[in-house]
Structure 1
Amino acid sequence: MSFASLGLSPALLHATRELGFSTPTPVQAEAIPAILRGADVQAQAQTGSGKTAAYALPMLHGLASLPMGGYRRQLRALILVPTRELALQVGELLQDLAARQAGSARQVLKVQALYGGVSINPQLLALRGGADLVVATPGRLLDVIEHNGLQLDQVRQLVLDEADRLLDLGFAEELDRVLKQLPVKRQNLLFSATFPSAVQGLADALLREPVQIRIEAEVQAPLTIAQQAIAVDADKRTTLLRHLAKEKGWKQALVFVASQYAAEHVANKLYKNGIYATAFHGGLSQGGRRQVLDEFKSGRWDILVTTDLAARGLDIEGLPVVVNYDLPRSAVDYLHRIGRTGRAGAEGLAVSFVSADQFAHWQLIQKRQSLQLELETVAGFEPSGFDQASEVPAEPARPGKLPPGTGGIKGKRPSKKDKLRAAAAAASTQDDTRN
């Protein structure tokens, strides 16, 4: 199948070729014709499946066929996203496509991205002549409306991108306020990696006889990503990371941690020890986050220590290494994280640090991802915290390897009776000591 068979205009087909879009992804092949027909769409597809282009291309096709009007453009299409980074990324793609779609034509569709973390004044100035299409986070959109910068009464198309995260991040009240200002008659498009009950309830309320698209997520990571798990005590992870970065010569690695504090702490420790590392998280200003990303992409930093803010919606071309310093909360998050590397057929490496207290969680991630990775050890960083309670033998059976799953073998871990006997013995010893 080709883009030409989907009904897009010649100008957009030219734009797709210039941007290197060769063949439609599954979600694009199903969504584009449905959107062009004017149908509501509910599409579930994993991150990296091409969801943005799946709605961007048909929306630009439709907007180009409408009269431009006078000096002030009327907003006809609105895309709501959960984060500033995604607003910027989607906005840049749409602006690029719109410019290529126009070609030598004098008028280009005007796309404006609205997001918080920066002054609202430049965004209000940019909207003085109106806009054809706006990509926005809900909070900043409402701020702009309150400043009389936009009206939503002429919107014909509404997109909720990453709808699951919009609700996860607490935008339900703001979404409701936005929806009340939109015309009743419009096309609604929902794109999300998952549709939990709260999101499905929103979908049911918004959509009218929608085209249902469900692209099953990959059970496993792409074969181009080599995955590695290393057993290490929690307090030695930073020195191990420093050791690996120097020994392997990592020049661009994305390191995931659990919190903003951890991102700053680990980045500072690495930097003080000669590793060009910096932190990236939601606590930074929008300008700071944009600067850090640009510097990382250009090679200014060797290691970017980040929260899950960078796990979805960011595309860092040619990223060779991802490290799970802290394990992700779920198997789905694990896929999102390591999916930052090995993109577009390139080879990538995903390394996970596994401490004793996280071993059970690591086993669950492996089970959900159908993985069977042996826990490796690095010379000089052999863990001391692994014992029977974590279901890993204290002494590895072979140098450099810790066989997984040995806790399920009889005799490798205490039974319930053994634990009760041990507790009784401990209590008896305490009584003897007191007496």
Structure 2
Amino acid sequence: MSFEEFGLSPELMSGLADVRIEEPTPLQTEVIPPALQGRHMLVKHEAGDDGVFLIPALQKLTSNGEVSGIRVLILTPSIERVKEIDEKVWAMGYHAQISSAALSMKGIRTAQEEAIKDGAPVVVANPGRLIEILDKNKLKLPKVDLVIIDEAHGMENYNLVNRVKDIMQLTEGEPQTLIFSESNNKATQQLSSAFLKDPVVHGFDESNVKEATSDSDSDSGQKSEAKEESKEQTSDQQEQEAEDFELDQEEVNRKLAEASVSVVLNPEENKEEEEKEDEQEAKADSDNEKEPTVPEDLTQAYIYVPPRAKISTLLAHLEDTLTDKIVVFAASKRTTDRLFRIIRKKGWGVVSINEGLKQEYYDERFGKFTSGDMKILLVGGLSATEIELNEVKQVINYDVPNEVEEYKYRAELVGNGKAARMVSLVSKMDKDDIDEIVKKVGYAPTEIPLPEEVKEKKGRSKKSDKKDKSSKKKSSNKNKKSKNDDRDRKRRKKPKEKKSANGLPRPSYDGLSGGKEGDSNGKRPSPSKSDGAFGWIKKLFN
């Protein structure tokens, strides 16, 4: 079977070609057709073949024309999976211009809130972070057509099943639900019974799953019926009690006076006061969650770095200020890898973490830094919000952040004390970013002079450049002189003899034997033996 048989849009087909997905896997062949038909599904699935749920999700978006608001919601318990799935959505949906938002527990929450409010068509989220944002902003999900629960077996930890249920309560309507799980554990069973209706089951015992979902439906029906019966009985009982009871107002007043109970005479005014108190509490909570600020007593500094001297400047600065707990932020994993190789040779004790690093390696390296075994932590491509550190002695911005908020978050990592500070290495390319940071923060960092050894190195480099230029100039002059000498020598050569009209050289008659003579009668003399060759030539030209 081919993707053309699924009726996929040309834009999605182009996206699949970009990521080198040429033909459907056996699992995709089984799952995609019923998913495109709108069926609920429970699928046994291991991470790796994400196209099995992304292809039908993106096809739904491309076939519905222009869409607005969140239409596809993908929930996963793993922070790494959020990033991985979001990147695949971007790559596969590029030609269809499908945007997505990633909401992980380690991301910047303010930016994630804006993404939710903007209404990206696809949202990939950790349940905990999503419900946190929805609750705080009092938002609902009114337009969601498809909910995908990835790695449902992993929802067993951290009370995530209940978080998913809370999210589904804020999802209006009855969206199609696809659940993918490695095992039919307790979490998978709870999610299946709660959200799947007449599902297509693949890879699990279908009878057990359908029995569980049908039991859930019948239980909910029985509960609703019992609830209605209970309401009716309660109502009848209250009416009967009202008929049998006669209020003795004097007795009530006497008992209230004895108990010193204050009676609310105007409940509406009391309700307004309660609402005001709630607003004040909400405002206080909001104030506690304000954007980070850079304290004025924090030592901020920068070093203006000349071209091609950033690494040497960093090394010289580290050597001058080497203490425990130094965090160096770089823009990418590639940069931290290079810095790690160089700094490790110094023997200062360094570890590096970056986006995409496996959790076990992340924990191991991060633990070495927090325990004090390593002095320097290199961070590549991660936000300061993703690093759980209370205080460090020095933060170094090897690459100046292009967002002011990130600069502030990094400042929050710096602890109190005379040695605590944040230093930025500012190159010509970073000037605009640092200017914007200074403008937003309100006060400028102080400049630290370029380390002496870097100055000396740059000085030697300049002298070397001058020598090279001088040598090149001399060589160039020498070549020019040599060319001129050759030209002069050519000019001094004896000029060539002029040629006659027929191309033969004109002879010098004075140099020929016999001169230019004739007989007394003016006749040409006849050649004689004594004349020889010269005589013959003389007669020829005469």
- Provide the TM-score with structure 1 as the length reference: 0.48
More helix by share: 2
**Normalising by structure 2, what TM-score?**
0.39
Larger radius of gyration: 2
Task: Flag the structure with more relative contact order, 1 or 2, with Cα contacts below 8 A and sequence separation at least 6.
Answer: 1
